Amino acid sequence: MFKVIAAVAVSIALAGCATPYQKRGLTGGFSETQLAENVWRVSFIGNDHTSTTSAQDMALLRCAELTKEKGYKYFGLLGGETDKNVQLFSTPTTTTTTGYVSSSGLYTGTSNTYGGHMFFVSSPTTSNTIIMFREKPEAKGMVFDASFVCESIGPRFDVKCGANKQ
């Protein structure tokens, strides 16, 4: 019983916080998949307290950090998508009946039903497919300087690229 109570308490405590910049875990975070030598897909999943903008920024920050970790200086976006994961939940229904039996043997009772409320939980997801470069390419389109992205977005999430090994 104690383990159940502790698990519920931890869940409630975590539910009130936005997903931090972290490797994907129970409360969300980033993950990456290598698709070619210098091509990666970087994803970020937030919880219902994480804004879409924060999810996009943390995915972009992870792209920059990963680029630097792999020995590259620049990255370009080959594709990206942002979505919302929407789930419907309902609270459990509980019915309580109270009553009494009179001296004549008649039962009088009252029933009250609680719960059964439905609510939506929406959490942002974002994914970027990037290509990494050692030197700035002469390419059209968005090419990012990984160090600049780290310096501009990192402080917002208390992240110094390369210092937070996930």
> What band does 100 get if pLDDT is binned at 50, 70 and 90?
confident
Q: Would you state the pLDDT for residue 82?
A: 93
Per-residue pLDDT tens over the stretch 136-152: 998 777 899 999 999 99
Q: Please check whether residue 18 is in contact with residue 101, taking contact to mean a CB–CB distance below 8 angstroms.
A: no
How far apart CA 48 and CA 89 sit, in angstroms, is 13
Measured at the alpha carbon of residue 143, what is the angle toward residues 67 and 81, in degrees to the nearest 5? 80
pTM: 0.73
Strand, coil or helix: 140: coil
Q: Where are the alpha helices (DSSP H) in the chain?
A: 2-15, 52-69, 146-153
